[in-house]
Structures are given as structure tokens and as C-alpha cells.
Structure 1
Amino acid sequence: MILYLLYVLVAVAAIQVIYFLFFGLFAFDKKKRDAVIDLPVSIIVCAKNEAENLKILIPQLLQQAYKNYEIVLINDASSDETQEVIERFQKENDNIKLVNVENNEAFWGNKKYALTLGIKAATNNYLVFTDADCVPASRSWLAEITQHFSNTKTIIIGYGAYARKKYSFLNLLIRFETLMAAVQAFSYAKLGIPYTAVGRNLAYHRNEFYKVNGFVNHIKIRSGDDDLFIKDAATSKNTAICFSKNSFTISQPKTTFISWFRQKRRHVNTSSHYKFIHKFLLGTFYSTQVLFWALAIFLVCTSFWMSALAIIGIRVLIQYFIIGISASKLNEQDTIYLLPILEVFLVIIHFGIFMANKISKPTHWK
């Protein structure tokens, strides 16, 4: 019986290695850019009770080293001073546009409704999205991400990093999870089957929004203005990835496990609406992760411990190599030092999220 389990471990490890080799599509990808052109761009930010964060974000958006752009700031029925903060900046900068959204009974608390109004109000066709609670990594953020637009590439997927916190295992875990999610997102896009993006660093041409009737296919699902839109609009021909370090956005991570767990529940909840191919591939990866570590830990405690350790070692070495290169590209090198430990924690957490979402639906946009 134990011998058969060892055979299963070999098979599961082989599947995992195939996935890691597939992730090499991103790890070994070289940055390719089309001709640089000064596109007229609209930056779109949806804010609900984000007065303090906007005081930090807006000055950094205004300092972007880019000639032709406007900033569309959406006040989504805020109850704090969000509108007043935007109006103060608007008086001093003629490239800021304010869109006020009032609560609508049919779309109560729906971020997609607010974003739709912002997109319609935007002057320019090239739209770059970010969130109120993050900042660009550099003054060339806007230039870096728009350089990937071309006649064929009209959806650009960027990287949304989290700020580092010293001596915090939770921070390391959050950034490792973000790294692994980005590696998968970028690799699938390189393969020609894009499935997700982060709304805090995403760009697309307005035509792509109208081709799929905006968010209408999932308007009743409160989350998913990024990944479910990508599901509808992104193809192998129209999607590009942007991962230069100056193109990142940086967000402040959650500081408690409970708040992060709730955030991940909201993000994972939309995955049930993905295409079958994506659900199958993602599900296979995560299920083989669970099987691998469950079998590996069990077999290490048996007479086959040497064989189990050898299998673990080969699999982890390949993982270190591929994910290590990816981490270097995304400036997350320190997350791989404890890679196996972080991975085991994530496997347990993802299982917990799966079970929690089965029991009850998570809450959404503020």
C-alpha cells in the first residue's frame, strides 16, 4: 500500500514539475516593447471613502513623466471627505476630472457601476486603471505600461506589488502569494489563454470594454471588475504583459491574518465564474499541490523516507529555479528563502478559503 502511495507521489510531483516548466514562459520571457508613442491616456481611479489615501496618490499621479493624460477620479458615494479632497486638487490641476456617483438602488455598492460611469466620462480611448489605496512605483509608471499598447495589443496586464514590512511573516506570505498569482497570470497570458489581472495595474482600450458590453455579463457579481473582464475580453492576440520594475504599483498589505483572509475570500470567490479550461488548469495545480505535500509528509515518516526526500528535493529544486527567476523579475527575491514553508502555509490557507466560501459568501466592495 505504501509503495503505491510512493508511485502516486512520483506522478503528482511530475505534474507539478510540468507546471513549473510551464511557468518558465514568464520566467524566461524577455521584455518586448512596441514602438513608443505618446498616446492620450485616461487614468481611472474608483474611490469609496478614500480621502486619506487620495492625498497620497493624486500627487504621485500628477508627477508622472508623461505628456498627454488626464486623471478621472470617481467618488463612489463616499461618506467621508473624498469629494472635497478631489475638488481641492481639481481646482489646481486642469487634467483632473471628477465623477460623482450617487447610490443607485439597482447597483447599490457596486464598483462596476461606478467604473462604468468613469469609463464613459473619460476623454481618451486608452484607459489605465489603478486603485486609491496604492501608488505607482515610479514617475515612469504610466509611460512604461502604455508602451505595450500597439495596433494589436489593446489589453495590458501589469503587476501590483505589496510594500515590504520587516520581520513580518504575514507580509512575506502575502507577497509570496502575490508573486505566485502573478507568475501564473503572466504565464497563462504568454501561452495565449489569459485569465486574470489586478485592477490596481491594468490598462485597456475603450473599444475592448464596449466589445463585451462592459461588465454586463457579471454585473450582479460585485467583484471581478478585473479578472472577469479579462475572461470576457482578453485573447491570445490582444493581450500583453508588463513587468518592468518601474511599471509596478505598490499597495499597503493587510496587517492581520483575518483581514487578509477576508480579502482573499473576495478574490477567490470569482474563480467559479472562470472558463472551464482555466478552472481545470488552476484546479489541477492546486489539487496536486495539496496531494504532493500530504503524501510527501506522510511518506517521510515511513520506511520509504529516503525516496520521498529525493522526490521532494528534485521538485523543490526545480521550483526554486523557476520561481527564483520570476521573483527576481518582480523584485520579490526575499520571498523564496522560505519557499517550501510559505507554499505549505498557502496550501492550507487556500483550502480554508475554499471551505469558508462553500459555507457563506464573502462581502465585497466597500
Structure 2
Amino acid sequence: MGICFLIHLYYVLGVHLKLAQYPINDLPTADRKPISVIVCARNEKPNLEKYLPSLFEQDYPQFEVVVVNDRSWDGTVDLLEALEKKYNNLKVVHVAEGNKFIAGKKFAVTMGIKAASHEWLVFTDADCEPASNNWLKGMQQPTDDDTEIVLGYSPYFKRKSLLNVLIRFETFFTAVNYLSFAIKGMPYMGVGRNMAYKKTLFFKNKGFAAHMHIPSGDDDLFVNANARPDNTIIQIHKEAQVWSEPKTSFFEYLRQKKRHIGAGKFYKPKHKLILSAQIAIQFCFYALVIGLAILPNTRFIAAGIFLLSLIIRSFVYPKLLKRLNYGELRWWFPILDIILMAFLVFNAILSIFVKKVQWK
């Protein structure tokens, strides 16, 4: 239990604390190079109607929005045709029907990148809304031309349900992990709801060719393969975040997490080792706390170590919850931490038996 405690503290104080202490600079006032915003949509008419106009309200001098319609049949085509007449910087790409187009979202993303007019690409989804009209200022190409990838942050909208609390807390820890490791010099993933990279980087490394057969991973697997300490930075300014619609059904959420786990199997070996060890150590720590608390001779030791762990983590994660726009959850942190651990174990077991995943 002591060994698990010390390793667990490494992730808390050696990794996640870096994000809690990370300086958040003001957004750039000078706009640099033009931007292509890429959105892929499959039967997303209600979300496009609701959220797409917010992209055109960005306070940025030169940008285009490339929407890839991936074989929708819900009226998306008619909506996009109407929006094209309204916004002259909207470019629509249609994926035609046919058996050759079975690669899902990665094919749609590739089509969008090919159609993009500019070198710097910013990605988001149809069900996402920028936190402000300064989003593109925060996600624009940095002054350092060696930077090829910017990892943004995308919280979920708050809804009144226990599922929504679980989704937001799980998303919080996922974000804390990938953002903290990026600061530490080991970027391993990003989220397609809010990220950016160079078009030349995509084609130089043959895009998604290495994992085109995997339904998911258009965001995290690409970052895992191409991100380096010297070419990747993070952006967590509140005005540069993108809010997203959470799942409302537990089974839809499980399907989403199944896709994510499927992509994680193809991470680089060192990333899989570190991330697997993180979950395993945390699970063992909780299991040993419970097991030793039952025994009369060790219950006070177990309670003491658990209390010490809780106190240390309470100085880190509530601050991060507030920093990442989930401040109201910080009061429930200890309980949610245990619930999340149980869910991750359940989801890992479920993924063994459920094999088929797809995009839309």
C-alpha cells in the first residue's frame, strides 16, 4: 500500500501539479496567419443549425470554415446550402456514397484537410460552441514556427443528471492527464473538439495512413504519432476553450468510451505503459485501503494513509476543477474520484466483450 501511495503521489505532484501551476497568458492581440477551421458532420443538422453560426462570429481577420458533410440524410445538405449563401467564408465538402468510403470520420477529416486553403488547421465538432469570439486568437499558429500542434481544452455543458456529472468529471481527469503530460514533455493525445496543427505536418507524416483501419483516433492517435516535446504546446485560456454537448444516454456514453479505449490500444508502448500503470496503481491503492481497513491490526494505518492521500490531492484537484471550468464539482471531489475509478474498471471489463465500434 505504501508503494502504491508513493507512485500515486508521483502522478499527483510530479505530473498533474504542473497543470495547476501552469501560467495562463493573455491571448495574443496581434493576429498572424490565416486559419482553416474544419468541422466534420454526419447527420448533425440540429447541432449545425445551433452552433455553426458561432464560428463565423470569431474576431479574427482571415479564416474559413470547412464543413465536411459525411453522407448525411437528415437535411444537412439543405442547411449547408442555405448557410453558404449567408457566409462567404464557408466551404462545404460532400463525401459521396460508396463502399470505398467506409473509413468513417478519418476519411471525412482528410477530405476537409485537403480542401482547406490555409496551412494552420483548427478542429472542432458540429456539437461544439467556442467559449468566446476570441477562440481563434488563442488557437492560432504561435509565434514560434517550430510549434506544429496546439492542444486545446473542451469542457462539456452542465446538465441536471448524475450521468452528466460523471461525464464532466471523467472528461476533467482525461484533460488533466493529457495536458499535464504535454507540459511535462510527453504529449500523447488531444481531443478533436479543440485542437490545431499544421497542414504540412499532416501530409508529411501521411495523415491517418498508419491507423486508417481503426474507427476512432482521428485526434488522439494522430497526436500520439506526431507530437513531440519541441513541437507541441497547450492552450487552456478560458476564452480559447470550446464547450461541447455531452451524451444524454448511458449506453451512448459507453459506446463513446469504447471508441476511446479502442484507440488507446494503438498508443506508443511507453504511453500505454505509463497510462495503464496509472490506473492500475490507483485501483490497487483503493483496493488495499478497503482490504486493510477490514483487518483490526491495520485499519488505522489504512485510514491514515488514505486520509493523507486525500489531503494532498485536495490541494491539487479542486484548484484544477476550478481552472478547467468545473468549479462546482470540487466540493464532491472525494466521492466522484471513487465513482470514476469504479466506472473505469467497469468500462475496461466491458470493452473485453464488446468489440464493434463505429463513428455514427
Deviations 1:133-166 (A, max 9, x none): 1111111111122164631212000111100123
Paired residue for 1:324? 318
User: Where in structure 2 are the equivalents of 1:345-356 lying within 5 Å?
Assistant: 345-356=339-350
Within 5 Å, give how 1:254-273 maps onto structure 2. Answer: 254-273=247-266
Query: 2:38 matched to 1:29?
Result: no
Q: Secondary structure at the match of 1:56?
A: helix
**2:204 aligned with 1:226, yes or no?**
no
1:173 aligns with 2:166: yes
Report the RMSD for the aligned CA atoms in angstroms: 1.5
Structure 2: runs of 5 or more not aligned: none
CA contact (8 A) 1:72 1:118 kept: yes
User: Which amino acid is 2:164 matched to?
Assistant: N
Query: Letter of the aligned partner of 1:138 in structure 2?
Result: S
* Corresponding position of 1:160: 154
Give the alignment partner of residue 105 of structure 1, picking from 96, 99, 122: 99
Residues in 1 aligned to 2:204 and 2:98: alpha-carbon distance in whole angstroms: 25
Matches within 5 A, 1:110-189: 110-146=104-140, 148=142, 150-166=144-160, 168-189=161-182
Q: Give 1:222 shift.
A: 1.2
More moved, 256-265 vs 86-95? 256-265
Aligned residues: 357
Matched, 1:88 2:65: no
Which residue, out of 58, 61, 86, partners 2:55?
61
Greater Cα offset, 110-119 or 259-268 = 259-268
Which of 287, 312, 331 is the equivalent residue of 1:294?
Answer: 287
1-side partners of 2:31 and 2:58: how far apart?
16
Cα deviation, residue 35, structure 1: 8.1
Among candidates 287, 306, 309, match of residue 303 of structure 2: 309
1:15 corresponds to: 7
| 2:206 equivalent to 1:213 | yes
Q: Does 2:67 match 1:73?
A: yes
Alpha-carbon separation, structure 2, partners of 1:34 and 1:244: 11
2:322/2:330 contact within 8 Å kept: no
- Is 1:241 the counterpart of 2:230? The answer is no
Change over 3 Å in CA distance of 1:211–1:264 after alignment to 2: same
Structure 2 counterparts to residues 192-207 of structure 1, below 5 A = 192-207=185-200
TM-score (structure 1 length as normaliser): 0.94
Cα distance, 1:175–1:57 mapped onto 2, change above 3 Å: same
Deviations 1:244-289, CA, capped at 9 Å, x for gaps: 1111111121223222122111111111100111111101110011
Give the SS at the match of 2:73.
coil
**Aligned residue identity for 1:103:** E
Distance, in Å, in 1 between the alignment partners of 2:97 and 2:354 is 26
> Match for 1:98: what amino acid?
V
Does 352-361 or 13-22 show the bigger shift?
Answer: 352-361
CA contact (8 A) 1:109 1:365 kept: no
Q: Give the TM-score normalised by structure 2.
A: 0.95
Alpha-carbon distance between aligned partners in 1 of 2:123 and 2:198, rounded to the nearest angstrom: 11
Contact 1:196 1:228 in 2 (8 A): yes
How far has the Cα of 1:34 moved from its partner?
A: 7.3
- Contact 1:111 1:222 (8 Å CA) reproduced: yes
- Does the CA contact (< 8 Å) of 2:120 and 2:198 recur in 1? yes
d(CA) in 2 for partners of 1:221, 1:284? 24
How far, CA to CA, are the matches of 1:339 and 1:12 in structure 2? Answer: 20
Unaligned runs of 5+ in 1: 1-8
Per-residue deviation, 1:339: 1.8
The separation in 2 between residues aligned to 1:105 and 1:192, in whole angstroms, is 41
Identity over aligned pairs, percent:
38
Residues 307 and 284 of structure 1: CA distance in aligned 2, closer, same or farther (over 3 Å)? same
CA distance, structure 1, for counterparts of residue 310 and residue 74 of structure 2: 49
Question: Is 2:31–2:60's contact at 8 Å kept on the other side of the alignment?
Answer: no
Counterpart AA for 1:71: V
Separation (CA, whole Å) in 2 of partners of 1:36 and 1:275:
37
